[in-house]
Structure 1
Amino acid sequence: MEWSFVVALVALAIGALAQRTVGMGFGLVVTPTMVLAVGPVEAVLVVNVFGIVACAMIIGRVWRDIDWRGLVWLVLPAIALTIPGILLAQASDADALKVAVGVLALVGVVVSAGFAKTERSLDGPPLRMASGALVGALNSSVGLGAPVIGMFAILSKWDHRVFAATMQPFWILLSLSTVVSRQLVAPGGAPPWEWWMWLVAIAPVLVGVLAGERIAARIDQAMARRAVIVFSLLSGIAVLVTGIVGLAS
């Protein structure tokens, strides 16, 4: 078994733990590791496929807390912007796009975190549709839409238990859309794994979900919101650094 596959397994476990605990973070943890382990193009397929697996394992445990109406406002525009996001990535300098997105994401998260200290909140269909559309475009173009969904959660002061639950069907539907859209627009991109390696990789995802289940039961709203801010900032930094490294090479 290659070392790169072992590293990938560890990343999948940690990513699944973050996804269950915070409601986001799978892509943030797994994407950079998968880029190194299997390559940037192949990483997109692996992250989306196992993101679906992780969320599918979680969704039954949080079903009662899902905000289905809020989900519709977010996920429909996200799916609608998936193919335009792929086309944007193909038509522009990918690394320059990542730098721009990373800078905007960091500024947005910082401003949102400052807003969160006030008593006000922003929510409603227009903001949800705009957030969903931006997440869909960024997820399919640069591989990370977490900063935007994090900003929305912060601005709307969404109850964390409901947010974490609603993110499971959201990422399932968006990841499915991304996988299908990429195969239509840019076919291929699977890593050179044997069939049994795909099955083995499910195990660490399950371990991460079960570990996250215990942690999720012990964190309060304030801690959860801080975790969302941290994950959103780290996502923005990851995109920014990846873009800078790409431009410098």
Structure 2
Amino acid sequence: MTTAEFVVAILAVAVGALAQGSIGFGFGTLAAPVLAILDEDLVPGSVLVLGFTVAAYVAWSERGALDWFGIRWALVGRVIGSIAGAYAVSRLSHNALAVVLSLIVLVAVAISVSGWHVRPSPSTLVSAGALSGVMGTLTSVGGPPMALVYQREEAAKLRSTLAGFFLFGASLGIFTLFVSGEFGGTELVGGLMLLPGLVGGLVVSRFAHRWLDHGWTRPTVLAMSAAAAVILLVDAAT
């Protein structure tokens, strides 16, 4: 990686960390595609190292607002969704599935904008966790389903709960790669090299979420969810 590419990678990680620290998700959506273009060896191992780090920081810094009840049910769905996603990858068209999942997210955003919304309950959390697991397995973008369920909750609760959820997902991903021989020192060093961008993004996010907490968190969540779905649609079409 050249010096210019390294700077771009640092900036991509910073922007992803800023989004995740501010609204609870967005690191995979914003940083992972850029890092994959710059150096394919950074994906998924090094990205998971960074994702684990940012999730651990957010979950710990706002641990008092973390919804343990919600996480338990969402993780049940996450396991189911991850298994379903792995099966789908081996059996079905990746692009077709990405289009379907993206359209589901866009419909959910449209419904939310119209005023109707779901509340975090065992059934909705398992469903959102499962959809997130499928999306995460297929595309590395699993935030929107969970974010849409928590969009009307207190901002700190949204951020910390999503962080706890992603912390499990990143841990599972790293463990799976390690067992399969796809994660080692190279992936760890790759993630550590980009930590300055992560730290910078998280520092700025502390100021950003104070502003977003004054009524702007939900609109930002909806906009970010729609953007993630559109990005997946474009990627599937090209």
Superposed pair shares fold, TM > 0.5: yes
Distance 2:7 2:33 in 1: 15
Q: Is 1:128 aligned to residue 121 of structure 2? A: no
Specify the alignment match of 1:145 in structure 2.
Answer: 142
Specify the alignment match of 1:210 in structure 2.
Answer: 203
- Note if contact 2:81-2:131 (Cα within 8 Å) is conserved in structure 1: yes
Q: CA deviation at 1:152?
A: 1.4
AA aligned opposite 1:143? S
Distance 2:224 2:74 in 1: 19
**Partner SS for 2:212:** coil
- Structure 1 gaps of 5+ residues are none
Q: CA deviation at 1:183?
A: 5.0
Distance 1:85 1:182 in 2: 16
AA aligned opposite 1:69? F
Give the 5 Å matches for 1:89-238: 89-116=89-116, 121-154=118-151, 157-184=152-179, 187-188=181-182, 195=189, 197-238=190-231
Distance 1:63 1:192 in 2: 31
Distance 2:43 2:185 in 1: 8
Residues 123 and 166 from structure 1, CA distance in 2 versus in 1: closer, same or farther, beyond 3 angstroms? closer
Alpha-carbon deviations, 1:187-245, whole Å to 9, x = none? 538897794x5422111101111110121122235200001001100110111111001
Write out the 4+ residue segments of structure 1 that deviate beyond 4 Å after TM superposition. Answer: 189-194
Instruction: Give the count of matched residue pairs.
Output: 237
Residues 95 and 58 from structure 1, CA distance in 2 versus in 1: closer, same or farther, beyond 3 angstroms? same
Q: CA deviation at 1:177?
A: 1.4
- Note if contact 1:9-1:204 (Cα within 8 Å) is conserved in structure 2: yes
- Structure 2 gaps of 5+ residues are none
Specify the alignment match of 1:19 in structure 2.
Answer: 20
- Note if contact 1:20-1:164 (Cα within 8 Å) is conserved in structure 2: yes
Deviates more, 1:206-215 or 1:173-182: 173-182
Q: TM-score normalized by structure 1? A: 0.85
Identity of aligned residues (%): 22
Residues 222 and 140 from structure 1, CA distance in 2 versus in 1: closer, same or farther, beyond 3 angstroms? same
Q: CA RMSD in A?
A: 2.4
Residues 194 and 165 from structure 1, CA distance in 2 versus in 1: closer, same or farther, beyond 3 angstroms? closer
Distance 2:223 2:185 in 1: 30
- Note if contact 1:83-1:181 (Cα within 8 Å) is conserved in structure 2: no
**Partner SS for 1:123:** coil
Q: CA deviation at 1:111?
A: 1.6
Q: TM-score normalized by structure 2? A: 0.89
Distance 2:118 2:141 in 1: 25
